Amino acid sequence: MTGLVVALGVVGLGGLGAVVRLVLARWGNEAVGGWPAGTLVANVGAAFALGVIHGQFGDLGTAIGVGLLGALSTWSTLALEVMDRIRSGRWTTAASYLATTLVVGVAAAWLGLQL
pLDDT at 1: 66
Q: How many angstroms separate the CA atoms of 67 and 3, rounded?
A: 14
Q: How many angstroms separate the CA atoms of 92 and 108, rounded?
A: 23
pLDDT at 49: 96
pLDDT at 73: 93
Averaged pLDDT in 10-residue chunks for the chain of 115 residues: 88 94 82 81 95 90 92 92 95 95 97 94
Residue whose C-alpha is closest to residue 112's, from 57, 61, 52, 53: 52
pLDDT at 26: 84
pLDDT at 35: 82
